[in-house]
A and B are shown apart, each in its own frame.
Chain A
Amino acid sequence: MPEWFIKFPKEINFNIKDIIDNFIDYLIANWGAFFNGIKGFLKGFLNGVGYCIDRIPWWLLIVLVFFLTWKTSKKLGRAFLYSALLFCIGALGLWQLMNTTLTIIVASVIISIIIGFPVGVLVSSSNSLNKIIRPILDFMQTMPSFVYLIPAAMLLGLGNVPAVIATTTYALPPIIRLTSHGIRQVDTEVTEAAMAFGSTKWQALYKVQIPQALPTIMTGLNQTIMMAISMVVTCSMIGTTGLGQEVLISINRLETGRGFSAGISIVIMAIIIDRLTQGIMKDREVSDE
C-alpha cells in the first residue's frame, strides 16, 4: 500500500501562510502612515477614556454600584454584596489595574456600538447584505480569540492600542447580530402601522422599529460587553496592561495567590457589569408592562 493512501500527501500544499504574511508585510510597508494615524487616534481616545475613569473617586464608584444595583434589582442585600465585592478589588490592591482594564473595555465597547449599531440597522433592512455579513460574523465568532492578536500587534505594535482593536473585532458580532435580529422580529403589523400612517423610512426606524427592538439590542450589548471582558484578559499576551497582565505574570512565575487575586477581581468585575446591564434591561421591560 502506498504511503499517500494513509498519510496526507506532502505534495499537495497550498501555502496560504506566505500569502497572509506577505499581505501583512505589504500593509506595514505601504500603509504604515494609515495605521499610525489609527494608532494615534486610538491612543488619544484611550487616554481620554482612561482620564475620565481615573478621575472617578474609588468610593464614588462603590456608591454608584450600590445605588444602581438597588434601583434596578430593588434588593438591598444584593446592592450591599456588589459594593462589598468591588471594595474587595481595592483591598486586594488591584484598583488601579482594574481601572486600566476597565478603560480598554469601555473604549472597545464604545467603538463596537459606534460601528455595530449602524451596521446592524443596515443589515436588518437588506436581505442581500445580511447574506454577506452573516458568514463574516460567524467567522469572527468562531475564530480563536488570540488569532486576532497577531495582526493587531503586527500592525499597531504592542500595548493597549492593539488591544482595543483586537477586543473590538472580537466583541463586535453580537451587537450587529442582535440589532439586526431585533429590528427584523418587530411585529409586521406594528411596522405596517408605522408605514400606513405616513412615516418616512427614517421615522419608522427611530420612532418604532428601534424602540421596539431595544430589549434585543440591549441583550446584544450585554454580550458584547461580556466578550470584551474575556478578550481584554487574552490581550495581555501582546503586552496589554491591567488585570490580565497580572494573571499572565503569575503564570510565568507560578505565583498562584497573585494569579487568583487578579482572576477573582476579573470575575467580580464581570459579574457586576453583567448584572447591572441586565438589571437595566429588565427595569425597562418591567416599565413596559
Chain B
Amino acid sequence: MNSNKNNENIIIEVKNLSKLYGANKVPAYEMMKNGTGKNEVAKKFGVTVAVNDISFEVERGKIFVLIGLSGSGKSTVVRCLNLLQKPTSGEILFEGKSILSFNKSDLLDFRRHKVSMVFQNFGLMSHRNVLENVAYGLEVRGANTTERVGRAMEMIEMVGLKGWEYKNISQLSGGMRQRVGIARALANDPDVLLMDEPFSALDPLVRQDMQFELLSIQRKLNKTVIFITHDINEAFKLGDLVGIMKDGQLIQIDTPEGMSSNPANEYVENFINSADKAQIYTVGHIMQIPSCLINSRDGANNALKQMRIHGVSSAYVIGDRLEFVGVLTLDNAVKVKSGDMNFNDSIIKGLPTTTEDTLISDLMPVAANAKYPIAVIGEGNQLKGIVSKAAVLSSLI
C-alpha cells in the first residue's frame, strides 16, 4: 500500500481487532491466540468467531469499503467502530485516542459528534416524521428547536427530499427512506459515516442513483466513509480502498485497480470475477485497431481495393492528422465508382464516438443501436481504434 502515508491523516486505526460471541469467549480467545485453529476453538468452547485479528487504517476524507459475503464479520467490524458491539480484544484508535478506554460520557460524546451510522434496513423510527427522524441525533445531544429544525431542513434539502419534511416514514419509498437515513447521519456533522450495507435493500436502479448521490455528497462535505457491502461492483465504484473479508479475516486491502490487477489469492480473484465486468472494464480494454483505414483524399477506387484486401464491407475514413471523419460502406463506394454519387457525400458522418476511458456499461446503450463498430477517439478527434458490438457484448461474459 501507501508507503508514504501521512500519519496525521489517519482518522481511524484498527489493530488486531477480534470479536467472539458466546459464554466462554475469553478462554476461547486465549486459546486461539496461542495458535489453535478457529474451527477447533469454536467447537470446543461453543463460541462464534465473528472477527478474527483484523487491522486496517482509514485516511481522513476517504471512502473505505469492507466487502465480504454474509457472515464474514463485516457488519460486526463496523459495529465495533462505534461500540454498538464491544470487541473481545484489539485496539481501535480514533484520531489517536483509544475508543475502548472511553467512559460513558466520552462514548456518548463520541457518538453524538464524531461518528454516525446508516443502516441496511434504514433503522428509521416510524413514530416520527421525516424531520423528526433527521433531527434525532441533534435532539438527543440537546440542541434547541431552532438549531434542530434549521439543520435538519438543510440536510433534507441536500438529500433531495425538500417538501417531504412532515411526511410519515411509511409514505416514503425505499430509496427515499435511505435518503432520510443519510440525512439523519449527516445532521450531526460527524467526521466519520459508518454505512452498513446501506443500499443492499434497494432495487438496482435506485441503488445506482444513491451511489452517485453518496459520491457527490462525500465530495461536497469531505466526510470519511466506512462502507460495508457484499456487492463488488459497489465496492469498486465507491471505494478509495477496498478490504475484502472472509470468515472474520481481512484477506486483502488495496485500491480497486490494485486489487483487480493483483489479487492476493484465488478467493479474491473469484470475488472479482463475479463482478459485472462492464463496470470495471473500460473501452480501452477491448478496442481494436481498425483493419481498413483510408484517407479522405484517397478516393473510391483505393477504398474498394483496401476493402477487398481486408475482406470487410466498410472502411474508416480519416483525415491527414489521423482525425476521424466517418465511415465509407462498400455499397456507397460502388455507387461512387459508377458515378451515381460524389465521394465526399458517400462518407457517412456524424456517427457516435466514444473515448478510451469510458466504462463499458456506459457504452452499452450506444453500442446496442450502432450500425457500425464505434470509433474510439482521443485528443483532437484522433482515431484510436474501434469497438464492435460483438466485443462489447462478449466482454460481459
Contact = CB atoms under 8 A, between A and B. Distances in A.
Contacts of B123: 187, 189-190, 192-193
A92 to B, nearest CB: 43
A196 B108 contact: no
Contact of A197 (B122, B128, B137, B171): B137
A207 B140 contact: yes
Given A198-B137, A288-B168, A288-B170, A190 B84 contact: no
A208 B137 CA distance: 12
Interface string B75-115: 00001001010000000000000000000000011111101
Instruction: Pick from B84, B140, B184 the residue with the most CB of A within 10 Å.
Output: B140
A198 B141 contact: yes
Contacts of B84: 192, 195-196
Contacts of A187: 121, 123
Q: Interface residue tally of chain A, by bracket?
A: 20 to 34
B108 A189 contact: no
Contacts of B122: 189
Interface in B176-213: 184, 188, 194
A189 B120 contact: yes
A130 to B, nearest CB: 18
B124 interface: yes
Interface string A145-170: 00000000000000000000000000
Contacts of B116: 196-197
B2 interface: no
A211 B128 CA distance: 9
A125 interface: no
Interface in A180-213: 187, 189-190, 192-200, 203, 207-208, 211-212
A272 B136 CA distance: 39
B121 A214 contact: no
Given A211-B125, A212-B126, A198 B109 contact: yes
Interface in B299-343: none
A289 interface: yes
A128 to B, nearest CB: 14
A192 B128 CA distance: 16
Q: How would you classify the secondary structure of chain A's contact residues: helix, strand, loop or mixed?
A: helix
Contacts of A198: 108-113, 137, 140-141
A200 B125 CA distance: 16
Nearest to A213: B127
Given A288-B170, A289-B170, A208 B109 contact: no
B125 A196 contact: no
A207 B139 contact: yes
B241 interface: no
B117 interface: yes
Nearest to A214: B127
Contacts of B137: 197-198
B109 to A, nearest CB: 7
Nearest to B181: A193
Nearest to A191: B123
A196 B82 contact: yes
A244 to B, nearest CB: 39
B120 A199 contact: no
Contacts of A212: 125-127
Instruction: Pick from B79, B117, B122, B127 the residue with the most CB of A within 10 Å.
Output: B127
A288 B110 CA distance: 32
A286 to B, nearest CB: 11
A190 B170 contact: no
Contacts of A199: 140
Contact of B127 (A192, A195, A196, A288): A288
A200 B112 CA distance: 11
Contacts of A190: 123-125
B225 to A, nearest CB: 15
Contacts of B29: none
Contacts of A207: 136, 139-140
A211 B111 contact: no
A189 B170 contact: no
A197 B109 CA distance: 9
A194 B170 CA distance: 19
Contact of A203 (B121, B140, B171): B140
A189 B137 CA distance: 15
B119 interface: yes
B276 to A, nearest CB: 28
A196 B168 contact: no
A266 B119 CA distance: 50
B104 to A, nearest CB: 8
Interface in B143-194: 168, 170-171, 184, 188, 194
A245 B5 CA distance: 86
Nearest to B132: A207
Given A192-B123, A196-B84, A289-B168, 20 more contacts: A189-B122, A190-B125, A192-B117, A193-B117, A194-B140, A195-B84, A196-B115, A196-B116, A197-B117, A198-B108, A198-B112, A200-B140, A207-B140, A208-B125, A211-B125, A211-B127, A212-B126, A212-B127, A288-B127, A289-B171
18 contacts: A189-B121, A190-B125, A193-B184, A194-B125, A194-B140, A196-B82, A197-B117, A197-B137, A197-B140, A198-B109, A198-B112, A198-B141, A199-B140, A207-B140, A208-B125, A212-B125, A288-B127, A288-B168
Shortest beta-carbon contacts, A-B, top 5: A198-B112, A193-B123, A198-B111, A189-B123, A197-B137
